[in-house]
Amino acid sequence: MKKYKLKKYVLPTTLITLGLLTLILGITVGEANKNFKSEEHLNYVSSTIISKDVAVINTTTKVIYPYTDQAVTIGKNFYDYKGSSEEQENSIIFHENTYIQNSGVDFVHEQQFTVISILDGTVTNVKEDELLGKTIEITHDNDYVSVYQSLSEINVKKGDSITQGQVLGKSGTNKLDQELGNHLHFELYIGGQIVNPTLYLDKEVLKTTKQ
């Protein structure tokens, strides 16, 4: 076998080349590590920054009675189809030889008493009916609508914003319930359906507020 002998200048050149490669490789690795460390402090966003959602807060509010005078009593109850025969009989209105089922509760007192709103809301109707007397309708949150009839005075107008407990007017009389004398005929609707008000007065109701 023939032996080859490296020339003297080949070895130094090879060492220099290896040294340069090592230096370049070290710089490259160092820069990579530097970039990696700096990225450790970055905060990555995984959700939408701008949200179109509206925050909603649910609170409970207690429905109050539509009057403040503690001497006021119930003169005629709401007609309940599930009630006893005696309860239904006491919830019938007799007018001009016609029996009518009472669609609300009649609160009575010998003297006029102040009528107030059971909840915050907006006055959606004010009218004077020949048979029912002066009437106020208020729309509240959660599809509640309260109606106040047989009023002698009205202190609000359509479109007014009402706060709970605000004075709406005074009790009075009407032709439909003449035998009751001075009274307030009160009705309550929830989701468009008439309900027995006594089941909801002095009870808590969920109120939704947008922020």
Q: Walk along the chain (211 residues) and give the pLDDT tens digit of each residue.
A: 544 444 444 445 544 444 444 444 454 445 545 554 444 454 555 555 455 565 556 678 999 999 999 999 999 999 988 888 888 888 888 877 788 889 999 999 999 999 999 999 999 999 998 889 999 999 999 899 999 999 999 999 999 999 999 999 999 999 888 889 999 999 999 999 999 999 999 999 876 555 5
Query: Token pair 């004010």 is at which residue?
Result: 126
Cα–Cα distance, 70 to 162 (Å, whole number): 23
pLDDT of 53: 60
Cα–Cα distance, 60 to 204 (Å, whole number): 6
pLDDT of 187: 97
Cα–Cα distance, 163 to 182 (Å, whole number): 25
Instruction: Characterize 113-143 residue by residue with b for buried, 16 or more Cβ atoms within 10 angstroms of its Cβ, and e for exposed.
Output: bbbbbbbbbebeebeeeeebbbbbbbbbeee
Confirm if 107 and 72 have CB atoms less than 8 A apart.
Answer: yes
pLDDT of 6: 46
Q: How many CB atoms lie within 10 A of CB 8?
A: 7
- pTM assigned to the model: 0.70
Name which of 93, 94, 112, 117 is nearest 103 in CA terms.
Answer: 93
Confirm if 132 and 172 have CB atoms less than 8 A apart.
Answer: no
Cα–Cα distance, 28 to 163 (Å, whole number): 72
Identify the sign of the CA torsion 27, 32, 37, 43: positive
Name which of 145, 206, 211, 138 is nearest 169 in CA terms.
Answer: 138
Residue-range domains of the chain with CATH: 56-210 (2.70.70.10)
pLDDT of 91: 87
Alpha-carbon distances of 72 from 47, 65, 75, 99, 171, rounded to whole Å: 58, 10, 9, 25, 11
pLDDT of 11: 46
pLDDT of 119: 97
Cα–Cα distance, 208 to 51 (Å, whole number): 20
Q: What are the φ and ψ backbone dihedral angles of 176, each rounded to 5 degrees?
A: -70, -40
